[in-house]
């Protein structure tokens, strides 16, 4: 299943699966952006991200991470 910037929850889950021990609150947006566009199922224009989208993804990732602590 391919996803883009609007699927924050799917991206958050994918990041948690790739980095299960990483606390998302300690990740810089620049690093997170790079990791997102490198995800196998990511299929969107890297330039279409913005701070609000990255924040939503970070919160989705945080929710996944906290649920597995």
Question: Looking at residues 54-68, what average pLDDT do you find?
Answer: 96
Instruction: List pLDDT tens digits, range 21-52.
Output: 999 999 999 999 999 999 999 999 999 999 99
Task: Give every CB contact of residue 51 below 8 A, 6+ residues apart in sequence.
Answer: 29
pLDDT at 22: 95
- The Cβ of residue 20 has, within 10 Å, a number of other Cβ atoms equal to 10
Q: Is-contact 41 2, C-beta < 8 A?
A: yes
In the chain, the percentage of residues whose pLDDT exceeds 90 is: 96
Mean pLDDT of 15-21: 96
pLDDT at 69 over 90: no
């Amino acid at each position: 299943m391919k996803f883009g910037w609007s699927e924050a929850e799917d991206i958050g889950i994918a990041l948690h699966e790739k980095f299960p021990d990483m606390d998302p609150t300690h990740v810089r947006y620049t690093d997170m952006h790079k990791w997102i566009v490198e995800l196998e199922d990511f299929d969107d224009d890297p330039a279409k991200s913005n701070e609000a989208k990255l924040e939503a993804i970070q919160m989705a990732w945080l929710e996944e991470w906290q649920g597995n602590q």
